[in-house]
């Protein structure tokens, strides 16, 4: 009888052997400065968490057009690439593995990030939200400009160049961010995509952009270095479509063709749920995706162990627990209690070390 896998046991991720199945989820921490260049305090932050089996970096923009969050990092200049290289070298020196998450914020951005030009999206549909955070403070969401069909090859090339830079920086792979109401997620979902060209209308057409980006990036790097993130149940950034089950089942079945490093699914509901029907589970994705699955959102050590032991997930990503517990793996391994939450206002905004690198590791009482 085959022994069941455990959260703290190794995982072979398409040839990259992870020392455990605890994944540090991508979280936008906004410590890159106005130039968006990864820096020493970020290296310290990731080094503190290098005992994770896999670190997925905070969302990192692929171009100036992709920007939409104050002081988040980019990967589209030499200085940005050099900054990331120092972080990657630090993590690797501590025995860690690290993927770079590639990001385009889409309609969740604002014209103040783009010299007064509107953000881009599949369709001119404004996000239903009270405000967005901008360089000028809180501002109401704006109607985005729909991307022209002839602009899409250039967008795909941005993902390819970002992947090339990730290779140059020494990353173990990249994760294509197609979740949480950002550009690629809005192309996939009927709520936000009302296009009439080959990228809109049917489920197949709405998936097309993600498919073309995956094809293009695996031509730059092998599929064993590419992951994809989806959020089928999420409401973040005003998302949720009536045909979500059909759309995400189709997307996962098509992604299965590529033999990717993994599919990262926000299956938990702690990050918001659109409530349009029964939430999709990892079991739903197991039916159509044969590769490695990473679950995310609201897991505890116990529920993560159960998901892995039952074969629903190969690894589990932890977000907020990693903010307050840089030694999360060690706490899991030794049965140590987790830190209680600190001031959340320090978590996702430019506050320097506060709430970022000043969280204590466990010490015996």
User: Mean pLDDT across the chain, nearest whole number?
Assistant: 95
The domain that holds 249 is classified in CATH as 3.20.20.70
Domain assignment of residue 139, yes or no: yes
Ramachandran category for residue 50: left, alpha or beta (phi over 0 → left; psi -120 to 50 → alpha): alpha
Please indicate, yes or no, if residue 334 is contained in any of the structural domains.
yes
Give the pLDDT mean for 127-133.
Answer: 93
Question: Is residue 4 over pLDDT 70?
Answer: no
- Residue 133: give the domain boundaries: 11-346
Nearest one of 318, 320, 327 to 341, comparing CA atoms: 320
State percent of the chain over pLDDT 70.
98
Q: Strand, coil or helix: what is 93?
A: helix
Give domain status of residue 192, yes or no: yes
Phi, psi values for residue 218, rounded to 5° = -75, -15
List, for residues 256-267, the tens digit of each pLDDT value.
999 999 999 999
pLDDT at 205: 98
Residue 352 domain-assigned (yes or no): no
- In this structure, of 183-197, 306-320, 331-345, the range with the lowest mean pLDDT score is 331-345
In a domain, 351, yes or no: no
The answer, yes or no, to whether residue 248 has pLDDT greater than 50, is yes
Around Cβ 136, how many Cβ atoms within 10 Å? 9
In a domain, 208, yes or no: yes
Dihedral, 325, 181, 285, 328 alpha carbons, nearest 10:
0
Count how many domains the chain has.
1
Within a domain: 308:
yes
362 given a catalytic annotation: no
Strand partners, 13: 16
Q: Is the pLDDT of residue 108 over 90?
A: yes
Of the residues 76, 159, 182, 348, which is catalytic? 182
pTM to 2 decimals?
A: 0.96
User: Exposure pattern of 184-201 as b/e (b: 16+ CB <10 Å)?
Assistant: bbbbbbbbbbebeeebbe
Read off the tokens for 120.
């881009």
Examine the pLDDT at 1 and tell me if it is beyond 60. no
Task: State the pLDDT confidence band at 341, using cuts at 50, 70 and 90.
Answer: low
pLDDT digits (tens, 9 = 90+) for 224-240: 999 999 999 999 999 99
- Is residue 364 a part of any domain in this protein? no
């Amino acid at each position: 009888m085959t022994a069941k896998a455990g959260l703290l046991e190794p995982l072979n991720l398409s040839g990259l052997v992870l020392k455990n199945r605890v994944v540090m989820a991508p979280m936008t921490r906004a410590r890159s400065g106005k130039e968006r260049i990864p820096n020493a305090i970020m290296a310290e932050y990731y080094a503190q968490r290098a005992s994770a089996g896999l670190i997925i970096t905070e969302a990192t923009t692929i171009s100036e057009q992709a920007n939409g969050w104050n002081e988040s990092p980019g990967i589209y200049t030499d200085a940005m690439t050099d900054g990331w290289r120092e972080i990657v070298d630090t993590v690797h020196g501590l025995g860690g593995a690290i993927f770079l998450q590639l990001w385009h914020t889409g309609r969740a951005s604002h014209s103040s990030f783009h010299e007064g030009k509107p953000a881009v999206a599949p369709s001119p549909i404004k996000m239903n939200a009270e405000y967005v955070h901008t360089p000028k403070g809180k501002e109401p969401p704006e109607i985005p400009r729909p991307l022209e069909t002839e602009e899409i090859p250039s967008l795909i090339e941005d993902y390819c160049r970002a992947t090339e830079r990730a290779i140059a920086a020494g990353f173990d792979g990249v994760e294509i961010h197609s979740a949480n109401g950002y550009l690629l997620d809005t192309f996939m979902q009927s709520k936000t995509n009302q296009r009439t060209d080959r990228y809109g209308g049917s489920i197949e057409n709405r998936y097309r952009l993600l498919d073309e980006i995956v094809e293009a990036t695996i031509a730059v790097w092998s599929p064993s270095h590419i992951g994809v993130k989806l959020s089928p149940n999420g409401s973040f950034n005003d998302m949720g479509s009536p045909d979500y089950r059909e759309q995400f089942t189709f997307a996962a079945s098509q992604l299965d063709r590529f033999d990717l490093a993994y599919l990262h699914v926000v299956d938990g509901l702690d990050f918001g749920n659109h409530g349009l029907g029964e939430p999709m589970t990892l079991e739903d994705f197991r039916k159509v995706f044969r590769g490695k699955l990473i679950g995310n959102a609201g897991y505890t050590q116990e529920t993560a162990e159960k998901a892995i032991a039952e074969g629903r997930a190969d690894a589990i990503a932890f977000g907020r627990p990693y903010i307050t517990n840089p030694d999360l793996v060690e706490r899991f391994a030794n049965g140590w209690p987790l830190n209680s939450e600190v001031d959340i206002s320090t978590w996702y905004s430019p506050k320097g070390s506060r709430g970022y690198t000043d969280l204590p590791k466990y010490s015996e009482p």
